[in-house]
């Protein structure tokens, strides 16, 4: 599955989202639960703001010295006997992974949740060479069964589906006969996936955080699938976006604590699994061979730009869970596997404006995302920076808007012009108004008045009132 | 105390009663008000749309306009925050940035000014009604004014306040967002209106004209009986209860 | 183990260096002094007994059964937990602590299998079939209710993972405040140039998922039930 998902046209995707009542109901209730849990977990700490400060310092420092830490990481992994492949592009990463799969003659591949492998369409690449790839995260498994329905959320990929729909998928694809109770559905998936794990020749994991000082990889899960993937198959490949790294264990503590709280409101998730190299001689289980694939795929384009902070993201989805736009349109409307505020920032950077020019505008700039981000990424400001780039560097804003803005500048810069224009406004709008309300506006106002009335400007402006009061010498109005 | 009043576009053209009330209220609290006539829009519509060169010119104009003020008090948290943002528009360490910092340090939103600078929480207002209050995003999250309006409203004689469910959700205005993404914006304002109706308040208050224009526009289209007022109008009411 | 291959590194890192240039270099990077370290203040001043109270409370949050006992009563407690979980067969780690705690004899009297570090397939198969897996906790985090297993040698990654039920024996002496103390310990090992365990598991209760309508379901891939037994005199 590539980064881009669904319909090409943004407006169509939005309409589809807005019309999907099932999805909107599911998203709304999920958001409310997740928001509550996050807020409770943050409040419990008492000094959440200090934690965020520390988180942002750690991420900032790491990204500023990314070359050093990646170097250190790769040295450590190699010392332990693991192999490291640096991939500039998704294709390079896939070729390498295909090569390992072929060498190991892998038929069945068990995979734990990983966004970067979605981004580079790794599953398709492996299927091309005849491998069967099994998603083992419950949410991903459901989507995979459902004809590769794309994920709509970076932590809970099947958030847009309700349990009845999931029962339907299981029934159709796997002859599931029981009820839509989540317990029964999960138990069924447990049994099915157990078989897959034991048969898999190759395990592929993502990476929440790599630890440079020891060449370790932390996987944060609740289900335990990443543990399965790293205990049972004989060969393991870990694929990481190049920014998913911390200097040492002390920093791992902080970012993991932030991640689990911000993502799901847990102090720690059920399993934090830290893997260091292949299994040792005296161990029975664990991979005999270990490969690390470090993926750039557009990330280095972001380094050194005003968007560098976007690389601080720890993929907790807190910004998605509070976003009112996401709530109404759902994840698929973003057309990217990275939805919500972080998706609107990241997708145009990893791809281009051609594909994602609308996303930076899909925000009311309410700042809810910036407020919750555990590593203090100024998300709404980054959206404004995108808009600036689109307007000033790419010159891609609509001509009509440019004309309006140029006029606006002249208007507000000239006190006289501004005064005249505001004075004229009530008269100019009179033809459209009834009882001082405009219910069918001209020009861009018609979008507004589709569902809302617009007030007609007052006949006497504030400044007129103030002036005449001053002239009459009322109260202490002076000057 | 000398206050230069920053009326904002909406306050000048649409919410004239709110602006008048704010001036009278500040005078009632002992301030001397002046109105620098050269003032225009804060430039936020251009800034948020990505037209930063244009915004820079506007910023210079307002910096000059308010240069000599002792305090600048505005009636929109969002526009006041935009003035604070000027600091980041100018080149680091430049003369203009210095002037922008000076402006920032003396510019306040109305309720913030009353509570934090004048040190007043009870303005002696009375108003008969059952109200709920919409917390505007920019004012609470960006400017960081969270408590001041509630402090002031709690002390209004005769006014009953009801909590607005999900009050931190955006009303869907977002400047050009409301026309560019009007279909999404409509859904957001609809949800806001649902929550307002849940409170069964007959009065919606807010401190930001733009949100009030958005929510009010939807309420009026729905022919809702809920009345919409700027907080200044309530704080300046001194009728019998 | 021979050193692994590193492919494409130089060009890849040179590109990064060019982008963040000036800021970074090949020379060792000093971590800055962080302006705040809230993680060090959590549960400050709590003694072990207070930490046990925190742990016990947290177990309620994480759907984990909590027991506190003494060495003498340990085997009895295990028996009662197994009864509770309707478990007959046991897999346990190859760990001298069972012997040291003098419960190895008790365990072997059960229908039990000791993890065999030389038999991959066999050990995994048995762990798959066992009703309950039992391990010791190496470090126990009170705040989050977490047992940390430094899985190497005979510990077996699968022991705490494959059976439907999991019992962690928690020596009281292993209880610390939070993850910070565990990562400090591991960091110190790294600093000293010691090998760290190839698989370090931070386990917090049974496995679960909220992927279906955000409803918490316990027991997805890993154990469905988990019990912690704190042993006072260990
Ligand atoms: S941007 Fe911040 S809030 Fe959003 S996913 Fe990344 S870390 Fe979490």
Same domain, B161 and B141: yes
- pLDDT value for A432: 75
Out of A275, A295, A315, a domain closes at A295
A386 pLDDT above the threshold of 80: yes
Q: Whose CA is nearest to atom 6 of ligand 1?
A: A313
Same domain, B179 and B69: no
CB A240 within 8 A of CB A296: no
What is the distance between the alpha carbons of residues B108 and B111, in angstroms, rounded to a whole number?
Answer: 8
- pLDDT value for A478: 40
Q: Is A323 annotated as a binding residue?
A: yes
Q: Specify the number of domains making up chain B.
A: 2
- Taking only the tens place, the pLDDT of each residue in B102-137 is 999 999 999 999 999 999 999 999 999 999 999 999
Residue A86 domain boundaries: 66-295
C24 pLDDT above the threshold of 90: no
- Taking only the tens place, the pLDDT of each residue in A145-168 is 998 899 999 999 999 998 999 999
- Taking only the tens place, the pLDDT of each residue in B203-230 is 999 999 999 999 999 999 999 999 999 9
Same domain, B213 and B104: no
Substitution site in A318, A323, A363 for ligand 1 pocket (most atoms within 8 Å of beta carbon): A318
Using the Cβ of A304 and the Cβ atoms of chain C, whether some distance falls under 8 Å is answered with yes
- Taking only the tens place, the pLDDT of each residue in B162-197 is 999 999 999 999 988 998 999 999 999 999 999 999
What kind and span of H or E run contains A17?
A: helix A10-19
Segment A381-387 shows an average pLDDT of 96
- Taking only the tens place, the pLDDT of each residue in B55-73 is 999 999 999 999 999 999 9
Q: Is A131 annotated as a binding residue?
A: no
Does some domain include residue A407? yes
- pLDDT value for A477: 44
Contacts of A279 in chain C (CB under 8 A): 198-199
Contacts of A391 (CB under 8 A, 6+ apart): A397, A402, B49, B50, B51, B52
Does some domain include residue A1? no
Same domain, A162 and A286: yes
Closest alpha carbon within chain C to A56: C34
Same domain, B19 and B71: yes
Contacts of A406 in chain B (CB under 8 A): 54
Q: Is the CB of A374 under 6 A from ligand 1?
A: yes
**For chain B, what is the mean pLDDT?**
94
Same domain, B25 and B103: yes
- Taking only the tens place, the pLDDT of each residue in C182-226 is 999 999 999 999 999 999 999 999 998 888 888 888 888 899 999
CATH code of the domain covering residue B140: 3.40.50
What is the distance between the alpha carbons of residues B185 and B178, in angstroms, rounded to a whole number?
Answer: 5
Same domain, A286 and A406: no
A411 pLDDT above the threshold of 90: no
Q: What is the pTM of this model?
A: 0.94
Residue B35 domain boundaries: 2-116
Same domain, B109 and B144: no
Q: How far apart are the first and last CA of chain B?
A: 31
Per-residue tokens: B116: 């934090």
Other C-beta atoms lying within 10 Å of the C-beta of residue A172: 12
Does some domain include residue A371? no
Using the Cβ of A391 and the Cβ atoms of chain B, whether some distance falls under 8 Å is answered with yes
Distance A258 CA to ligand 1 centre (A): 10
Out of B63, B88, B116, a domain closes at B116
Same domain, A209 and A70: yes
Same domain, B111 and B133: no
Same domain, B20 and B112: yes
- Taking only the tens place, the pLDDT of each residue in A227-255 is 988 988 899 999 999 999 999 999 999 99
Q: Do chains A and C touch (3 or more CB pairs under 8 A)?
A: yes
- pLDDT value for B64: 95
Same domain, B61 and B165: no
Segment A63-67 shows an average pLDDT of 94
Closest alpha carbon within chain A to B63: A413
- Residue C66, classed as helix, strand or coil, is strand
Same domain, B215 and B127: yes
- Taking only the tens place, the pLDDT of each residue in A310-356 is 999 999 999 999 999 999 999 999 999 999 999 999 999 999 999 99
CATH code of the domain covering residue A128: 3.40.50.10420
Q: What domains appear along chain C, each with residue ranges and CATH number?
A: 38-231 (3.40.50.10420)
Segment A33-56 shows an average pLDDT of 94
Confidence band (pLDDT; 50, 70, 90) for C25? Answer: low
* Residues B177, B109, B132: CA angle, nearest 5 degrees: 70
Q: What percentage of chain B exceeds 90 in pLDDT?
A: 94
- Residue C146, classed as helix, strand or coil, is strand
Q: Specify the number of domains making up chain A.
A: 2
Which residue from C109, C77, C74, C72 is spatially nearest to C90, judged by alpha carbons? C109
Out of A295, A320, A351, a domain closes at A295
Does some domain include residue A207? yes
| CA distances from residue A277 to A68, B5, C121 in whole angstroms, order as listed | 20, 66, 21
Same domain, A279 and A415: no
- Taking only the tens place, the pLDDT of each residue in C77-114 is 999 999 999 999 999 999 999 999 889 999 999 999 99
Q: Is A369 annotated as a binding residue?
A: yes
- pLDDT value for C23: 54
What is the distance between the alpha carbons of residues A260 and A76, in angstroms, rounded to a whole number?
Answer: 27
Same domain, B85 and B13: yes
Same domain, B138 and B180: yes
Q: Whose CA is nearest to atom 3 of ligand 1?
A: A373
Out of A272, A295, A318, a domain closes at A295
Q: What percentage of chain A exceeds 70 in pLDDT?
A: 99
């Amino acid at each position: 599955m590539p980064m881009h998902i669904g319909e090409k046209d943004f407006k169509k995707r939005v309409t589809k989202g807005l019309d999907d009542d099932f999805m909107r109901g599911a998203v709304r209730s999920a958001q409310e639960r997740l928001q509550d849990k996050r807020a409770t977990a943050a409040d419990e700490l008492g000094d959440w703001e200090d934690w965020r400060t520390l988180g942002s310092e750690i991420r900032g420092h790491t990204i500023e010295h990314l070359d050093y830490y990646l170097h250190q990481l790769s040295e450590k992994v190699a010392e332990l006997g693991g192999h490291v492949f640096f991939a500039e592009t998704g294709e390079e990463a896939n070729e390498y992974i295909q090569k390992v799969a072929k060498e190991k003659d892998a038929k069945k591949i068990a995979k734990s949740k990983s966004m970067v492998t979605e981004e580079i369409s790794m599953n398709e690449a492996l299927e091309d060479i005849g491998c069967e790839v099994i998603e083992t995260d419950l949410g991903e498994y459901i989507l995979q069964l459902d004809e590769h329905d794309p994920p709509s959320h970076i932590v809970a990929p099947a958030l847009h589906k309700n349990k009845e729909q999931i029962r339907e998928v299981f029934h159709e694809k796997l002859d599931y006969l029981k009820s839509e109770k989540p317990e029964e559905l999960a138990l069924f998936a447990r049994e099915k996936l157990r078989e897959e794990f034991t048969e898999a020749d190759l395990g592929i994991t993502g990476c929440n955080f790599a630890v440079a000082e020891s060449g370790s990889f932390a996987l944060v899960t609740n289900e335990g699938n990443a543990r399965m993937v790293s205990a049972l198959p004989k060969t393991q490949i870990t694929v990481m976006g190049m920014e998913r790294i911390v200097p040492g264990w002390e920093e791992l503590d902080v970012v993991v604590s932030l991640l689990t709280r911000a993502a799901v409101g847990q102090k720690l998730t059920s399993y934090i699994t830290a893997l260091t190299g292949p299994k040792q001689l005296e161990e029975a289980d664990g991979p005999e061979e270990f490969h690390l694939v470090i993926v750039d795929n557009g990330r280095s384009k972001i380094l050194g730009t005003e968007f560098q902070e976007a690389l601080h993201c720890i993929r907790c989805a807190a910004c998605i869970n509070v976003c009112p736009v996401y709530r109404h349109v759902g994840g698929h409307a973003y057309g990217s596997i990275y939805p919500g505020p972080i998706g609107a920032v990241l997708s145009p950077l990893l791809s281009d404006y051609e594909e994602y020019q609308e996303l930076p505008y899909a925000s009311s700039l309410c700042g809810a995302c910036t407020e919750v981000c555990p590593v203090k990424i100024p998300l709404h400001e980054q959206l404004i920076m995108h808009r600036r780039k689109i307007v000033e560097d790419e010159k891609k804003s609509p001509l009509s808007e440019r004309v309006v803005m140029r006029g606006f500048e002249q208007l507000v810069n000239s006190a006289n012009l501004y005064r005249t224009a505001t004075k004229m406004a009530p008269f100019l709008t009179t033809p459209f108004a009834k009882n001082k309300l405009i219910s069918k506006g001209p020009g861009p106002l018609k979008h507004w008045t589709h569902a809302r009335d617009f007030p007609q400007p007052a006949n006497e402006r504030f400044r007129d009132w103030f002036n005449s009061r001053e002239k009459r010498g009322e109260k202490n109005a002076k000057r | 105390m000398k206050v230069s009043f920053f009326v904002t576009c909406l306050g000048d053209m649409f919410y004239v009663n709110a602006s008048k009330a704010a001036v009278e209220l500040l005078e009632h609290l002992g301030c001397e008000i002046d109105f620098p006539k050269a003032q225009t829009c804060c430039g936020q519509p251009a800034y948020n749309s990505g037209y930063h060169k244009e915004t820079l010119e506007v910023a210079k104009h307002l910096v000059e306009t308010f240069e000599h003020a002792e305090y600048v008090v505005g009636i929109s948290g969002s526009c006041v925050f935009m003035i604070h943002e000027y600091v980041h528009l100018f080149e680091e360490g430049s003369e203009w940035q210095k002037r922008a910092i000076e402006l920032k340090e003396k510019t306040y939103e109305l309720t913030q000014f009353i509570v934090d600078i004048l040190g007043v929480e009870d303005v002696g207002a009375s108003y008969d009604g059952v109200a709920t209050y919409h917390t505007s995003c920019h004012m609470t999250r960006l400017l960081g004014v969270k408590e001041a309006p509630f402090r002031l409203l709690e002390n209004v004689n005769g006014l009953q306040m009801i909590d607005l469910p999900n009050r931190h959700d955006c009303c869907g205005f977002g400047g050009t967002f409301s026309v560019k993404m009007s279909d999404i914006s409509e859904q957001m304002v609809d949800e806001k209106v649902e929550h307002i109706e849940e409170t069964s308040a007959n009065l919606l208050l807010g401190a930001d004209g733009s949100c009030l224009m958005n929510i009010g526009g939807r309420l009026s289209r729905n022919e809702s009986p809920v009345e919409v007022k700027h907080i200044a109008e309530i704080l300046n009411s001194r009728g019998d209860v | 183990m021979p050193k692994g291959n590193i492919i494409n590194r130089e060009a890849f890192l040179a590109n990064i260096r060019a982008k963040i240039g000036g800021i970074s270099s090949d020379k060792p990077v000093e971590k800055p002094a962080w302006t705040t370290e809230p993680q060090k203040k959590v549960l400050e001043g709590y003694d072990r007994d207070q930490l046990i109270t925190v742990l016990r409370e947290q177990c309620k949050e994480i759907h984990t059964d909590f027991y506190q006992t003494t060495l003498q009563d340990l085997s009895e407690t295990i028996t009662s937990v197994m009864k509770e979980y309707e478990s007959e067969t046991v897999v346990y780690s190859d760990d001298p602590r069972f012997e040291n705690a003098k419960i190895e004899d008790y365990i072997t009297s059960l229908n039990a299998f000791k993890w065999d570090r030389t038999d991959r397939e066999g050990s995994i198969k048995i762990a798959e079939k066992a009703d309950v897996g039992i391990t010791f906790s190496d470090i126990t985090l009170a705040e989050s209710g977490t047992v940390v297993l430094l899985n190497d040698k005979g510990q077996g990654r699968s022991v705490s993972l494959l059976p439907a039920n999991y019992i962690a024996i928690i020596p009281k002496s292993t209880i610390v405040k939070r993850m910070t103390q565990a990562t400090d310990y591991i960091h110190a090992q790294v600093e000293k140039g010691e090998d760290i365990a190839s698989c370090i598991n931070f386990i917090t209760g049974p496995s679960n998922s909220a992927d279906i309508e955000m409803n918490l379901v316990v027991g997805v891939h890993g154990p469905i039930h988990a019990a912690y037994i704190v042993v006072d005199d260990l």
